[in-house]
Structure 1
Amino acid sequence: MPRVECPGCARQIAAGMVAGAPSKGRLWRHDPTERPELFGDALVSCTGSLEIVDLPTPGVQLEFDQADELELEEELAGPMGTMALF
């Protein structure tokens, strides 16, 4: 997952993609950097946790290289011109 700067604490936090918006991501929940001094052992999330942010690179669809049909036929045909079943 790409890491994005949190607007609340300015740390680099992982961001997961948001459905329907490939260029947007939701920051993972994380603790503020000053948590031990201010809050002790209490579990407190950073104000930037779960915020939707812009991802550094837009989502792209995975592309496969097109193999030549001749190469593909040679791979499928066995040593005696037979085709593998499994």
Structure 2
Amino acid sequence: MKLPKAHCPRCSRPIAARPVPGRISKGRLWRHDDTGVLRIPGEPLVSCPGSLEMIEMPLPARQLELDVSELPCADVVDDEMTAALF
């Protein structure tokens, strides 16, 4: 599943956002590294303070749109082919 991207309120990078169950318009950002912190081997990872923060989802409850003109059988008008799409 491809997740929508939202800008982190702390580092303003586009980060994938997952929806929160029961709240269509809200989501949480995936964990991501802070841009200004260097990774030191053997030291603990430091995430951006905006990781896992509650945000407004960019496009809540948007249905996937399918362009049927690009399908290989777009020029075929047949009830059997139409039923295969559903």
TM-score by length of 1: 0.63
In the alignment, what sits opposite 1:12?
14
What secondary structure, in the 3-state scheme, does the structure 2 residue paired with 1:57 have? coil
For residues 62 and 13 of structure 2, the distance between their equivalents in structure 1, rounded to whole angstroms, comes to 26
Residue 12 of structure 1 deviates from its aligned partner by 0.2
Look up the equivalent residue of 2:17 and give its one-letter code: A
In the alignment, what sits opposite 2:25?
23
Residue 44 of structure 1 deviates from its aligned partner by 0.4
For the aligned residue pairs, the C-alpha RMSD in angstroms reads 2.3
Structure with max Cα Rg: 1
User: What pairs with 1:5-84 in structure 2 (closer than 5 Å)?
Assistant: 5-36=7-38, 40-41=40-41, 42-60=44-62
In the alignment, what sits opposite 1:80?
none
For residues 33 and 47 of structure 2, the distance between their equivalents in structure 1, rounded to whole angstroms, comes to 5
Structure 1 residue ranges without an equivalent (≥5): 63-73, 76-86
The number of equivalent residue pairs is 65
Structure 2 residue ranges without an equivalent (≥5): 65-78, 81-86
